[in-house]
Structure 1
Amino acid sequence: MVLKIRKNNDWRPNPAIFQPVTALETLDLSKNHLKSLDFLFEANLTQLQKLILQNNDLSVMNEKVFEALPSLQYLDLSLNPFVCNCSNAGFIHWVVFNRRVYVEGAFQYKCASPQAHLGAFLLDFNYRWCWESTGFFCFVSSSALVLLVILCSFIYHFLRVQLLYSFYLLRAFLYHRKRQGCAEIYDAFVSYNVHDEEWVYRELVPELEERQGWKLCLHHRDFQPGKAILENIISAIYSSRKTLCVISHQYLHSEWCSREIQMARVHESAAVGGDQDLIMMEKLRERKEKDEV
């Protein structure tokens, strides 16, 4: 069975028109200004042996269309404006290496674009370069991704504390600018190590709060539950007129205490009236021992 549909400028192919002619063996669709052959995927032309597509507007070919025609033996794509770039790499490879379908005049197909290949033969286009460049791009991309993962892992394992601290320093600066002109809630934020907590609550708090009427900000009493430690520290320092640092050996070896004293220094340098006082626990202990002697 032979079907010819030729010279129809406005024809829009529909797979449904081929359903009644599944036994079709020859199909001639020349001079129809076809731009795509995707309709053949659903045309169910299982017995089609000869396909003529001369003088259409086919520039980029999908070789899988022809693989979907199991009985196809002859194909004519003469006088189509082929694009000679990587979009036709798969089709060129199929034309050269397939042994099932004879492609009429394939070695005479010429490039219509781009300008650099105008008039050149389609099968002379170095399509392997497309796959090599794609492979190189994939190699570079995957290598960059691996390096990025390694870098992120390094940062996470070795620099996350420093980055987090820098982030909170920035937040502290922004918090200070936001609170400029606002009244402080506390007279002082007390920075101390947990080993000195007994002395703070037994001697420092009664002296300053009960006898002198200060309002102190203390870790375990005034920090907001569920809030990040550094956020609580920033809030406490910038909500207080001054910071009292209870310095001891344990304090100097504590990471969080060192963060607090650095935050206080940032506040002291950025704020007018910001103040930082140091209470030296070792000197107090030495004085107490002398008094007892």
Structure 2
Amino acid sequence: MQLESLQELNVAFNSLADLPGCSTFSSLSVLTLDHNVVSHPSADFFQSCQKIRSLKAGNNPFQCTCELREFIKNIGQVPRGVVEDWPDSYKCDYPESYKGTPLKDFHPSQLSCNTVLLIVTVGATMLLLAVTMTLLCIYLDLPWYLRMMFQWTQTRRRARNLPLEELQRTLQFHAFISYSGHDSAWVKNELVPNLEKEDVRICLHERNFVPGKSIVENIVNCIEKSYKSIFVLSPNFVQSEWCHYELYFAHHNLFHAGSDNLILILLEPIPQNSIPNKYHKLRALMTQRTYLEWPKEKSKRGLFWANIRAAFNMKLTLGTENKDEKT
């Protein structure tokens, strides 16, 4: 049957599942195909039917998937009016999330429709993430900070589970002192006596840490029970991991409590290049905050102690004697 001369074809209200190509209808210019079961019209229909001047293919159950993207794109490239009833009669029937959506509003991304591109993108993202995490682990000691945050969270969770009457307490100390064991002689012979003679109550590891509790929990409890946290900075300090724990928790508590609770005493100069990379918080504090430098000349120490005492000029209503304090 010779159909090369056929110019108009009306097959509406049938059960056709696809747009017929024009390989046997070389002269076809008008095609009516509405109200059929066309779900995935061929993407090369307009290339096959280059003489088409009128296409009526609305009211079909179009499946809005990646296969339909090229057909929709081609509709936008033909002259206006060629596709009749566009866009009102051309709507998605599947999937359910797109049901009723006009085909002109269906725009799947290139990434979602290109498996190779998706795999490459996901792979590149994972590689970049792995490289970033590796660099963080190397230069900032990320595992250390994650471990510290976990321990901090666990300690605060246990604190929330304490009875209400135990939580309703006032501060028990004016200051918690953090220092390296190598600097303990200066702390015990200079710092503590000069503060305690002014009735400043001090929290120290050896006196106030509670046996049976973890070191991290003792650190957190002492910091939270103290009005201020004093850090005795020196090259020995930056070599002590526990000192850095204390600085980390105190700095975290500063933002948590919304108060300025840190006092930095520079006992000995610390070269910036001697501070480990993971102690970037200490670097930042020494750069941004004012610290008190311990003077070697005795004539200057009076002003030093005056500055320290000025930090405790607020009258505190301290709680009753700390039952955990070991004298």
Normalising by structure 2, we get a TM-score of 0.36
Answer 1 or 2: higher relative contact order, Cα 8 Å, separation at least 6: 2
Task: Give the number of the structure whose residues are more often helix, by fraction.
Answer: 1
With the length of structure 1 as denominator, give the TM-score of the two structures: 0.40
Task: From the CA coordinates, give the structure whose radius of gyration is larger.
Answer: 1
